[in-house]
Amino acid sequence: MDINYTPEELAFRDEVRAFLDEKLPKEIASKVKKNQHLGKEDTIRWQKILNEKGWMALHWPKEHGGTGWSPIQKHIFEEECAEYGAPTVLPFGVNMVAPVIIKFGTEEQKKTYLPSILNSDVWWCQGYSEPGAGSDLAGLKTKAVREGDHYVVNGQKTWTTLGQHADWIFCLVRTDPNAKKQEGISFLLIDMQTPGITVRPLITLDGEHEVNEVFFDDVKVPVENLVGEENKGWTCAKYLLTFERTGIAGVGQSKAALKHLKEVAGKVQQNGKPLIEDPLFRNRLADVEMELMALEMTNLRTVAAAQAGGVPGAESSFLKIMGTELRQEITDLFRRAAGPYAQPFLPETFEADYDGEMVGPDFANSVSTKYFNMRKLSIFGGSNEIQKNIIAKMILGL
């Protein structure tokens, strides 16, 4: 038993750090650290840098251009990226649809889609949730009717993250209306340029446009865009949902945020002393710190189990719950650190090219939007209630 990295693992970490030192554009990292808006071009720029290095596809097999990394290597890479303020790689292409294509797709599909995903030439989005089918994903109603060499798709998807930029969408659709719930679902790839598709922005409570509704009105999709067998799409859906997610605990993000929070609390003055010396604030910081240590170790245990060949299952639900609650707690402390300056809402200050005066201390401008935005963590990606149901069923046998 040794919880420390081996010399090989430390050497790998050095390699990652050297790469990030050299290649991560400073202006992008600065935006991430200051909670400024990242544009589509920032994300793509970074992803192309990763691809040049061959580090874009963490979870793909080597033969398709993946890294072939071990779970520990992936973990180290993601930790360091978070620490350095690298933008999050958008998961919809590389970590969601691609593994499904690799596992269930035809050779033709692999050739068509994988290279452009690797090189970030095509922006993917996800068509899973529907207004009536959130937690109950299999309750979806969007239907696809086969007519000759294409499907005709009608229906609506929602919570489509960054769908406003997307070139393609992968969708779960109902192809057999008479089959039982999870049967009769198929997995389709759809070009967003196809006539009949409308994207409507959904503005979240923090004023941001991250998610969308996508409407399908007699949208014609060629049959060759079906992945896997017709009516067997639930297999793809499950594979995608349970697909190894080393980063789900968000340890790197929480560490970076906590570090920033401590800096901030060391500067903000309260009754003539830094806030970090306020016994209660300090106590809550210590509480977050120890919870984060527990989360990190629990995450490492899962990573190490995967390294040893175990298949991470419902354990990742623990990590999802613990990780998201902790990230939310940190946003709560940030807004408390800002004090009355948690109130001002100046969206223009989130732009990197904003050169006006700030209101209150610099860090304060985004504390409340972040606090409210991060409420999504416990809702999206399988709400924490659903995660508890999964644990109750899969681990506890209840």
Q: Which residues bind its own copies (CB under 8 A)?
A: 279-280, 283
Q: Which residues pair with 270 in a beta bridge?
A: 273
320 vs 391: CA distance, rounded Å: 11
Catalytic, 244? Answer yes
The one of other proteins, its own copies, none whose footprint includes residue 287, by CB under 5 to 8 A per kind, is other proteins
Q: Which is nearer to its own copies, 14 or 289 (CB)?
A: 289
- Judged by CB under 8 A, does residue 159 bind other proteins? yes
328 vs 189: CA distance, rounded Å: 34
The one of its own copies, other proteins, none whose footprint includes residue 341, by CB under 5 to 8 A per kind, is other proteins
Question: Judged by CB under 8 A, which stretch of 26-34, 60-68, 128-136, 183-191 contacts other proteins?
Answer: 128-136
- Judged by CB under 8 A, does residue 253 bind other proteins? no
CA-CA-CA-CA torsion for 69, 72, 77, 80, nearest 10 degrees? -170
Question: Judged by CB under 8 A, which stretch of 161-169, 172-180, 218-226, 369-377 contacts other proteins?
Answer: 369-377
The one of its own copies, other proteins, none whose footprint includes residue 298, by CB under 5 to 8 A per kind, is other proteins
In whole angstroms, the minimum distance from the beta carbon of 295 to other proteins comes to 8
Q: Which element (helix H / strand E) includes 190?
A: strand 185-191
The one of other proteins, its own copies, none whose footprint includes residue 7, by CB under 5 to 8 A per kind, is none
191 three-class SS:
strand
Q: How many residues lie near other proteins (CB under 8 A)?
A: 90
Q: Which is nearer to its own copies, 1 or 280 (CB)?
A: 280
- Judged by CB under 8 A, does residue 15 bind other proteins? no
Question: Judged by CB under 8 A, which stretch of 14-22, 91-99, 246-254, 343-351 contacts other proteins?
Answer: 343-351
**Strand-pair category, 124-127 with 168-174:** parallel
Q: Catalytic: which of 15, 83, 208, 244?
A: 244
Q: Which is nearer to other proteins, 42 or 130 (CB)?
A: 130
170 vs 186: CA distance, rounded Å: 10
How buried is residue 56: exposed, middle or buried, by Cβ count under 10 Å (0-12/13-18/19+)? buried
Residues 26-45 that bind other proteins (CB under 8 A): none
Among 119, 204, 235, 242, binds other proteins (CB under 8 A): 204
- Judged by CB under 8 A, does residue 300 bind other proteins? yes
Q: Which is nearer to its own copies, 167 or 291 (CB)?
A: 291
**Closest to 241 in 3D by CA, of 377, 374, 86, 129:** 129
- Judged by CB under 8 A, does residue 202 bind other proteins? yes
Kindly give, in sequence order, each residue whose CB lies less than 8 Å from that of residue 118, ignoring residues fewer than 6 positions away: 51, 56, 57, 65, 94
Place of tokens 């061959």: 54
- By the 8 A CB rule, do 256 and 80 touch? no
Q: Which is nearer to other proteins, 217 or 263 (CB)?
A: 263
Residues 210-249 that bind other proteins (CB under 8 A): 211
Phi and psi at 209, nearest 5°, equal -110, 90
Q: Which amino acid is at 196?
A: G
Q: Which element (helix H / strand E) includes 215?
A: strand 209-222
- Judged by CB under 8 A, does residue 294 bind other proteins? yes
- Judged by CB under 8 A, does residue 4 bind other proteins? yes
Q: Which is nearer to other proteins, 215 or 372 (CB)?
A: 372
Phi and psi at 151, nearest 5°, equal -100, 150
Among 27, 61, 106, 135, binds other proteins (CB under 8 A): 135
Q: Which is nearer to other proteins, 232 or 336 (CB)?
A: 336
Eight-state DSSP code of residue 93: I
Query: For helices 26-33 and 40-53, what crossing angle results, to 10°?
Result: 130
**Closest to 381 in 3D by CA, of 148, 161, 64:** 161
Residues with catalytic roles:
244
